[in-house]
Chain A
Amino acid sequence: MGGLLAGFADAFHYYAYFAIMMIGLFAMIAKTNLLKKCIGLGIFQTAIMLFYVSMGAKTGADIPIVNPATGTADPAAYANPLPQVLMLTAIVVSVATLGVALALIQNIHRDSGSIEEDEILRRLRDE
């Protein structure tokens, strides 16, 4: 039992990221409002970003900028820069793709008068 609890405590942040990710996934599947689907997508992406950045953490490490007092001989002295780079670009790209999604939703609203998925489907069937 103690071992199980210790294992849970070690991986606690992963469970938190999975929970956030599943909240976003649920919003993307179950919500009928297209804007709420986009919010779900944002929550999902946030979970992925947290997941990646936590991979690069090192106990007692500095930010990934050279500290003249430490030098660069020991990689364990600095946090892993690679996940941070990947997520830096992912954040900006996610903002840009969200803009495209909002543009599409605006056109859907203009053409069918609603952003509720079932309402749009009903109007398409009626035509």
Chain B
Amino acid sequence: MKRLALFVVILAGLLLAATADDFPRLGDAGSAPSRHVSPAYIQGSLDQTHTPNFVTSVLADYRGFDTMFETTVVFLAGMSCFFILRALRRKSLSEVYYYRHKPTGTVLAMLAPRRIPPRSSCFERIDADWTPQDLVVETMCLFMVPFVQIFALYVLAHGHYSPGGGFQGGVLLAASFILVGLSRDLRTVEWLLAEKKAILTAAAGVCIYAGTGLLALFLGGNFLDYGAFGPAFGAAIPAARSMGILCVEIGVAMTVMATLVTIYKLVSSRGTVEEGL
């Protein structure tokens, strides 16, 4: 079996290698991918959308329809994770709940949960495989979180002028939540961004994107043609396009952030969102 696979792979590799001569040379400015629409994007972006970053203007304006469905795919991936792990889960995974008495370090194992308030002063809920954590690591990770989030918002809002945008900002925001989950525990993440809230945020992001497109439709333009905002709100058409790009980028960031946090929570806890990494 392995030999057959190796043979097939080498054959496919040789066939691909035989076509390498037909691809454009590295760094060729006149190659086919750089000839048709690409020059129009580069020459038109600044005048048409007031966006110096071509990648942002192509992503959210020229190819906005494509990006809308990419965002929907990310949202659907999060939802399918939810349905695979959470909705189809069996109840028998975590029946025992462990509570640690903070002053003495005694651990109680309980079959019926919620006898002790979850955030009481002297007891804390701990994972089954709990070990004493390093205070330095935990404190430093939590110290980093606000800076990561501020940088994420900068990347999101400054995507018109520098490398960045909704996808990158959303991933950074998700990384800050995952950092909390890694340094503390999963229940802290659940307390910060509850599961229901996260899924609603992801859905709201897709709705903001599609709603921006529909608003343009109602104002007399085409779907996702942000130029229609110009006459309606008394702005120049390029400035209106720039604002439309910012709106959809915010929607993308919300969806990506909430989806990645949801996937992390579900996958790391086998769908229980009780104990995990």
- Once the chains bind, are A100 and B81 in contact (CB under 8 Å)? yes
Residue with the greatest number of chain A CB neighbours at <10 A, chosen from B17, B34, B58: B34
From B58, B88, B162, A85 is in contact (CB under 8 Å) with B58
Number of interface residues of A (CB under 8 A): 53
Contact residues in B for A112 (Cβ distance below 8 Å): none
Contact A56 B52 (CB under 8 A): no
In angstroms, Cα B55 to Cα A91, docked, is: 15
Q: Is the CB of A103 within 8 A of B2?
A: no
The main secondary structure of chain A at its interface with chain B is helix
Task: Tell me the nearest residue of chain A to B73, going by C-beta.
Answer: A93
Q: In the complex, what residues of B have CB within 8 A of residue A93's CB?
A: 70, 73-74, 77
Nearest CB in chain A: distance from B270 CB, A: 6
- In the complex, what residues of A have CB within 8 A of residue B80's CB? 100, 103
Residue A99 lies at the interface, judged by CB distance under 8 Å to chain B = yes
Report yes or no: B5 in contact with A61, Cβ–Cβ below 8 A: no
Query: With A13-B26, A89-B167 given, is the CB distance from A75 to B9 under 8 Å?
Result: no
**Which residues of chain B are within 8 angstroms of A124 by Cβ–Cβ distance?**
none
Residue of B nearest to A77 (CB): B42
Q: Given A72-B42, A97-B77, 7 other A-B contacts at CB below 8 A?
A: A80-B38, A88-B55, A88-B167, A89-B67, A93-B70, A100-B77, A103-B84
A/B interface sample: 16 pairs, CB < 8 A: A15-B17, A22-B12, A55-B33, A58-B27, A61-B29, A75-B29, A78-B54, A83-B33, A85-B55, A92-B171, A93-B73, A99-B260, A99-B264, A103-B85, A106-B271, A110-B90
Going nearest first, the 7 A-B pairs with the smallest beta carbon separation are: A59-B27, A96-B77, A99-B263, A75-B39, A66-B52, A81-B54, A76-B29
